[in-house]
Amino acid sequence: MQKLYNYILGKKITGDGDGQVLYNAVSGNAIATASTAGLNFDDILSYARNKGSALRKMSFHERGLMLRALANHLRKHLDKFYSISYQTGATKADSWIDIEGGIGNLFANASLRRKLPDTPFCLDGEHHALGKQNTFMGHHLLVPKEGVAIHINAFNFPVWGMLEKIAVNLLAGMPCVVKPATVTSYLTEAVVKEIMDSNILPNGALQLICGSAGNMLDYVTSQDVVTFTGSATTGLMLKSHKRILEENVPFNMEADSLNCIILGNDVTPEMPEWDIFIKEVRKEITVKCGQKCTAVRRIFVPENKIEAVQTALIKALSQTTIGNPLNEKVRMGSLAGNTQRNEVKTQVQKLLASSQLIYGSLDSVETIDADANKGAFISPMLLLNTTPFLTNEVHEVEAFGPVSTLMPYKNLEEAIELSKMGKGSLVSSIVTASEKNATNYVLGAGAYHGRILVLNNECAKENTGHGSPLPLLVHGGPGRAGGGEEMGGLRGIKHYMQRVAIQGSPTMLTAVSKVFQPNAKGNIDGRHPFTKYFEELQIGDQLITEKRLITSEDINKFADLSGDHFYAHKTETDFSGTMFEQQVAHGYFIMSIAAGLFVDGFKKNPVLLNYGIDELRFTKPVYPGAEIYIRFTCKEKIAQDTKDENDLPKGIVKWLVEIFDESNEITGIATILTMVAKKNK
């Protein structure tokens, strides 16, 4: 029988002893064993920390391109991953979520490099002036932690569960050790094998253990980060580990939660939202055989529609074909294993203390092309609880399978209170065509849910669904859901980086951060910045322009040319009671004049085009007779990828534009972006 490898210490190693036997969830046949016995977890974590220095030294752009290369590599092996995934009981649709959804996380995080500097670190937030003479300031810097991210996954997403997490820590510059759910770790191992064979990641960036985490947490340090996905009970045990507490190790938990969906009281059977609701609930019960931390466990419906919803849901669920995922007729596969099936049945029995089973069976299920007894098959089950305010089980017990409970509510206020009785969830949804209902629900229930989907006919075709976390949005929830956050785009990388407040002179903070800070010393070398190629430009390269007199005639001409005849730009306006003393120049006219002053337009140069303007502000009125000049400074450089061999190598340069008048006061400030060619073709 195959023995799964642990990919550790730069090699693949099998654990000692027989290990835990892993089974094909469909046939019940033993397919592999997993063991971590005999592994030295202190050495494993030390290896990651020491070798991880290579990852920390890479820039965000290099890490992002690394993730993109990895995603493209894994896509070449989809057929292999799908064939193994079927053994976990997953249908093709289930596997698509797990495998291609996981790879999609790599792509999504890779794309974030465009929002980050081409350095190993980045600034966080805005600068703060700390002195009246502008010689002392503060900022926040994010630097990679010097430890290892430890990902412990107890849920049945063997690919997504790994890739959603490592995409973020790798982009942040932190190595990781992954411990997937053992029962389906044979699929995770197959993916990691391809990752290791690709040689895309630096040594030590990723290690995999298949089996028990043993005493690994005994060796964590304050520079490490631990994430956990699984039951709240196990999460609490891990979070309370003596070493975690002693070292103040960041611990991000995504725990099982009693997610809910609400049918708005405005929705009636003839509305499209009715069918959307029924379809969404059926999908959430049956996809992945209900084995999702985001699956709908509680269904809240207006009490006058409970019977109609019950009838519609039973009809929808009765059309679900169950069996061998390889059979094209099958729409729901099996649970991950018989142990999990026994656990689901135990939890359903607890729910039945206060609810009744209105669809499905605890003891029997009809299957296609599979033996229901040998495989880990179970029937979808719909329960009904008519007194949700008087019973606790339905708000406290989760059956981690295709099980959900239907409950009535009288008004939206009751629906909000019922949603809160789950004591925190990863996600909640409301299906409604009423903007008022949507607003009241989101604001009333938002503090208890990590994500809220507002679903109606308008977004039905494009919506990603109640149960689908997205890489660019936070995934996590308060209270019972664990209190953590994962993914979330740029927010996610901050879990793996240390925020350090830095103080000093603007020039010194410019040198440290590689981003020009206001009032820092500029570099004036007599050469116009626009004549420099991307590689030649230095942060702080600066130009101070000649002055330009602003006249009333200029303002009138710009008004005629632009069509902007706002009263403040007219000479005949009575300015009493206004913010202005006399005719004032258009802000956009001043910005146009600024461009005329700083642009080197007399000969062809490396600047390819104007890419846009950020943070444009007009801070002081400019009246006829004023003389303005520009301080133009290279603020930041962002390299761009070439699309193919014919693409012109280039980068984006951000320039700080400061507009001064004859009294040397700033009248306007902006950041403009130009696309600049690279010298090296």
What is the amino acid identity at position 530? F
Amino acid 614: pLDDT: 86
φ and ψ of 573, to 5 deg: -70, 140
* Residues above pLDDT 70, as percent of the chain: 100
pLDDT interval class at 601 (50, 70, 90): low
Of 279, 317, 365, 464, residue with least CA distance to 89: 365
Please compute the mean of the pLDDT values over residues 513-528 and round it to a whole number.
Answer: 90
pLDDT interval class at 384 (50, 70, 90): very high
pLDDT interval class at 602 (50, 70, 90): low
pLDDT of 232 above 70: yes
Higher pLDDT, 672 or 233: 672
- Tell me which of 100, 164, 189, 254 is the catalytic residue: 254
Please compute the mean of the pLDDT values over residues 358-365 and round it to a whole number.
Answer: 92
Amino acid 185: pLDDT: 93
pLDDT interval class at 610 (50, 70, 90): confident
In sequence order, the β-bridge partners of residue 628 are 548
Q: Is 439 left (phi over 0), alpha (psi -120 to 50) or beta?
A: alpha
pLDDT of 373 above 90: no
pLDDT interval class at 515 (50, 70, 90): very high
C-alpha 60 chain-centroid distance? 16
Cβ–Cβ under 8 Å, residues 512 and 495: no
In tens, the pLDDT along 17-71 reads 888 999 999 998 999 999 999 999 999 999 999 988 899 999 999 999 999 999 9
CB-count burial class (<10 Å; 0-12, 13-18, 19+) for 644: exposed
CATH of domain 522-677: 3.10.129.10
Please compute the mean of the pLDDT values over residues 141-159 and round it to a whole number.
Answer: 91
Amino acid 681: pLDDT: 65
Query: What mean pLDDT, rounded, does the chain reach?
Result: 91
Q: Give Cβ neighbours of residue 221 (< 8 Å, ≥ 6 apart).
A: 147, 247, 249
Amino acid 474: pLDDT: 86
In tens, the pLDDT along 415-427 reads 999 999 999 999 9
Amino acid 198: pLDDT: 94
Alpha carbons within 13 angstroms on the beta-carbon side of residue 77 total 20
- Tell me which of 293, 485, 486, 658 is the catalytic residue: 293
Amino acid 156: pLDDT: 75
pLDDT of 622 above 80: yes
DSSP string of 154-171, one letter each residue: -SS-TTHHHHHHHHHHHH
Amino acid 482: pLDDT: 85
Fold assignment, 2-256+491-498: Aldehyde Dehydrogenase; Chain A, domain 1 (3.40.605)
CATH superfamily, with its number, for domain 260-468: Aldehyde Dehydrogenase; Chain A, domain 2 (3.40.309.10)
Of 545, 560, 623, residue with least CA distance to 590: 623
Higher pLDDT, 170 or 574: 170
Per domain, the residue ranges of the chain are 2-256+491-498, 260-468, 522-677
- Tokens for 116, please give them: 């980050």
Residue indicated by tokens 């990895």: 70
293: annotated active-site residue: yes
pLDDT of 594 above 80: yes
In tens, the pLDDT along 239-277 reads 999 999 999 999 998 888 899 999 999 999 999 999 999
CA dihedral 139, 144, 148, 152 (to 10 degrees): 70
Distance CA 375, CA 324 (A): 9
Distances (CA, A) of 583 to 617, 618, 659: 19, 16, 19
In tens, the pLDDT along 654-669 reads 999 999 999 999 999 9
Of 629, 637, 631, residue with least CA distance to 673: 637
Of 375, 376, 13, residue with least CA distance to 189: 13
In tens, the pLDDT along 100-135 reads 999 999 999 999 998 898 899 999 989 999 988 889
Task: Write the DSSP symbol of residue 529.
Answer: G
* Residues above pLDDT 90, as percent of the chain: 71
Of 206, 181, 211, 202, residue with least CA distance to 39: 211
Amino acid 671: pLDDT: 93
Angle at the Cα of 94 (from 421 to 166), degrees rounded to 5? 80
Of 301, 298, 297, residue with least CA distance to 268: 301
Q: Are strands 403-409 and 381-384 parallel, antiparallel or unpaired?
A: parallel
